[in-house]
């Protein structure tokens, strides 16, 4: 297991060096994260607005229902039916309590909406800043490729100038694993 830990540490170090040498890629990863935050925040905002609207509709329905039970209380009292009047009062009270809960839910949603909108605007501004940085890096000259003086491992000389297909396949697989590891580390 120590070998795997060492290999993982080595690959992470190489990946960090690669990203430091290629800030454009680091910005691309950051842009993806910000876009994901923007989508999640937008979805939260839509959910809050839908909750508020549902609560408003439910409250309006309850108001109509409470009026009906208020009229029934009056009818029961006029008919000298205290048992029905008491049951109607209880129903009206239950509806009033439900209305209070709905009002609280609507108020909470209403309070969270401006904060979520402000957060969404901040995220949009951040996304635009990152996009501007990416454009700036794209207009600059690309970094020179690795030179021989840099510590890039060279293939064994016994393989000649070209890699055999098996070696190439394994290197491709190892590179993909290193990139996946980077993605996991960046999402932490």
- Give the CATH number for residue 119: 1.10.287
Q: How far apart are CA 59 and CA 99, in angstroms?
A: 6
In a domain, 81, yes or no: yes
In a domain, 151, yes or no: no
**Spans of the chain, pLDDT less than 70:** 141-163, 187-188
Give residue 79's pLDDT: 94
In a domain, 150, yes or no: no
Sign of CA dihedral 19, 24, 29, 33: positive
In a domain, 135, yes or no: yes
SS3 160: coil
In a domain, 2, yes or no: no
- pLDDT, tens only, 154-170: 444 444 445 577 777 77
SS3 63: helix
In a domain, 95, yes or no: yes
Q: How far apart are CA 173 and CA 188, in angstroms?
A: 23
Helix axes 2-21, 23-78, angle to 10 degrees: 100
Residue span of the structural domain in which 49 resides: 20-140+161-187
Structural domains of the chain, count: 1
Give residue 136's pLDDT: 86
In a domain, 111, yes or no: yes
String of b and e for 136-150 (b: at least 16 CB within 10 Å)?
Answer: ebeeeeeeeeeeeee
CA distances (Å), 37 to each of 30, 65, 123, 127, 177, in order? 11, 42, 7, 10, 25
Q: How far apart are CA 177 and CA 23, in angstroms?
A: 21
Give residue 155's pLDDT: 45
């Amino acid at each position: 297991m120590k070998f795997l830990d060492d290999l993982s540490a080595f690959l992470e170090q190489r990946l960090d060096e690669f990203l430091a040498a290629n800030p454009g890629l680091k910005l691309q990863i950051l842009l993806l994260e910000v876009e994901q935050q923007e989508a999640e925040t937008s979805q939260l905002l839509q959910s809050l607005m839908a909750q508020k609207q549902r609560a408003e509709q439910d409250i309006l329905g309850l108001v109509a229902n409470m009026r009906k039970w208020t009229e029934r209380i009056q009818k029961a009292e006029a008919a000298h039916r205290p048992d029905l009047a008491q049951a109607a009062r209880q129903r009206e009270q239950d509806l009033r309590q439900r209305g209070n809960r709905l009002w609280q839910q609507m108020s909470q949603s209403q309070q969270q909406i401006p904060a979520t909108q402000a957060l969404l605007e901040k995220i949009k501004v951040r996304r635009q800043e990152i996009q501007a940085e990416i454009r700036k890096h794209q207009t600059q000259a690309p970094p020179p490729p690795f030179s021989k003086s840099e510590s890039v491992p060279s293939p064994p000389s016994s393989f000649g100038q070209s890699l055999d297909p098996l070696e190439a396949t394994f290197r491709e697989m190892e590179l993909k694993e290193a990139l996946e590891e980077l993605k996991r580390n960046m999402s932490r």
